[in-house]
């Protein structure tokens, strides 16, 4: 396991590269879902319809 984590001496470059990539992957999931939630909430208020509480 520690051999895997050391990445043949390249750990300081490999793991940050993976970390920044998956940070972007999860931030984009989160922000897309937030954008949809907000757009729905705005539309509900504007149209005067009660949706499920979000």
Partner 1 sequence: MDWTWFHRLASPPYIYRLAATLTPWFAWPAGLLIAAGLYGGLVLAPPDYQQGDGFRIIYVHAPSAWLSLMIYSVMATAAAVGLIWRMKVAHAAAASCAGIGAWFTVVSLVTGMLWGKPMWGTYWVWDPRLTAQLILLFLYLGYMGLRSGIEDTARADRASAVLAIVGVVNIPIIRFSVEWWNSIHQAPSVMKMDRPSMPAEMLIPLLTMMVGFTLYFAAIMLVRLRAEILRRERSASWAREVVAS
From residue 7 to residue 36, the character string flagging contacts with partner 1 as x (rule: CB under 8 A) and all else as - is: xxxx--xx-xxx-xx--xx-xxx-xxx-xx
Determine, following the binding rule CB under 8 A, whether residue 5 of this chain makes contact with partner 1: no
Q: Rule CB under 8 A: is residue 4 a binding residue for partner 1?
A: yes
Kindly tell me which of 2 and 46 has the beta carbon lying closer to partner 1. Answer: 46
7-35 core/surface letters (b: 16 or more CB in 10 A; e: else): eeeeeeeeeeeeeeeeeeeeeeeeeeeee
CB of 2 to partner 1, least distance (A): 13
């Amino acid at each position: 396991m520690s051999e895997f984590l050391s990445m043949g001496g390249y750990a300081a470059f490999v793991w940050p590269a993976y970390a920044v990539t998956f940070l972007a992957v999860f931030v984009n999931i989160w922000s897309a879902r937030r954008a949809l939630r907000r757009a729905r909430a705005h539309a509900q208020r504007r149209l005067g319809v009660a949706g499920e509480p979000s």
